[in-house]
Amino acid sequence: MPHGLDHIVHAVRDLDAAAELYRRMGFMVGARNRHSWGTHNHLVQFPGFFMELLTVAEPEKLTGEGFAALFGDFNREFLAHHQGLSFMMLESTDVPADAAQFRAAGFARSDALTFERARKGPDGSAVTVGFSLAFARDPGAPEIGFAVCRQHNPQLFWNAALQQHANGASGIAGVVLVAENPTDHHIFLTAFSGVRELHAGSGVLTAPTPRGDVRIMDRAAFQTRFGVEPPDRSGGARLAAVRFTVRERKALHATLTAGGIPFTEHMGQTVIAPAAAMGATLVFDGGRDSGG
């Protein structure tokens, strides 16, 4: 079964600065959350998808196996070299079955793992949310974390009030990886996404998922499509860009300008370059033209 996008991790060294940056870009940013293994986050919600702004705030807690190693240590090592997009999570309805499929394909990093944490519910009350994940690995992309995720109590997690963004962003259009040769990742992307028919052409490999598409581009295609330089690929493929849908471009531009966020218009998209977005390329697709 194809897996839609669930969330993307934007790993940063200064979580407060990242939250303020996203607020200045016009996003509604949730409260600070803490994981038992030492990572902290803020979430930016959309219908069925969220951005996870994350830092390793308490590295002394990164002990043992499980989430501490697969998620915490991974992001600590990532942040030792870069800031930017570190992890791609796809949605799952059966995490143990997905873990078994990853193992059969030779891409598993873990069995199904579960954790819980406290947070404020949609009505402001204290609730406990839980998640099951199974981690995967692409040998050609050691600097990207991959996992599938299922929420145990989604009604306690999603909050429509947190999905109303001043910049007009309304959902996830897709994510973009960059690689020297996208077709080298065809077998992994098929196994990980569950999408059996990938589209290839002009330096781009695409998996159209039920929620957003996953594209792997070579350097030339990325530069042509977004007008910015992709991240360094000397250590393998990298997670390079997130593409949001936006309702109305004029409001988006007004919000970014008011927040002092530099942006460019490129091929019908609004693009915020990595230098302005803490190592990530953030792209806004759709919406009426800014002159409208």
CB neighbours of 258 closer than 8 A, spacing ≥ 6? none
pTM comes to 0.95
What pairing do the DSSP bridges indicate for beta strands 238-246 and 281-285? parallel
Are the folds of 5-162 and 166-285 the same? yes
CATH code that applies to domain 5-162: 3.10.180.10
| Cα dist from 225 to 170, 174, 202, 235, 243, whole Å | 21, 14, 11, 23, 12
Give the pLDDT score at 292: 35
Share of residues in the chain with pLDDT > 70 (%): 97
Give the pLDDT score at 125: 77
Give the pLDDT score at 290: 41
pLDDT of 74 higher than 60? yes
Give the pLDDT score at 291: 43
Assign 172 a pLDDT band (cuts: 50, 70, 90): very high
Question: How far is residue 150's CA from residue 67's CA, in Å, rounded to a whole number?
Answer: 15
pLDDT tens-digit readout, 258-292: 999 999 999 999 999 999 999 999 999 987 664 43
Q: Which two tokens stand for residue 220?
A: 């030339």
pLDDT of 175 higher than 50? yes
Domain boundaries, the chain: 5-162, 166-285
Give the pLDDT score at 156: 87
Give the pLDDT score at 129: 87
pLDDT tens-digit readout, 14-30: 999 999 999 999 999 99
Mean pLDDT of 168-197: 97
pLDDT of 119 higher than 90? no
Closest alpha carbon to 2 in 216, 241, 245, 211: 211
Q: Which range in 109-123, 125-139, 194-208 is most confidently predicted, on average pLDDT?
A: 194-208
CA 136 to chain centre: 15
Closest alpha carbon to 270 in 259, 256, 291: 256
CA 282 to chain centre: 11
pLDDT of 4 higher than 80? yes
Share of residues in the chain with pLDDT > 90 (%): 91
Give the pLDDT score at 288: 64
Q: Which two tokens stand for residue 194?
A: 């569950």
The Cβ-side half-sphere exposure at 11, using a 13 Å CA radius, reads: 26
Mean pLDDT of 125-137: 91
**CATH fold of 166-285, please?**
2,3-Dihydroxybiphenyl 1,2-Dioxygenase; domain 1 (3.10.180)
Helix and strand tally (H, E) in the chain? 8, 16
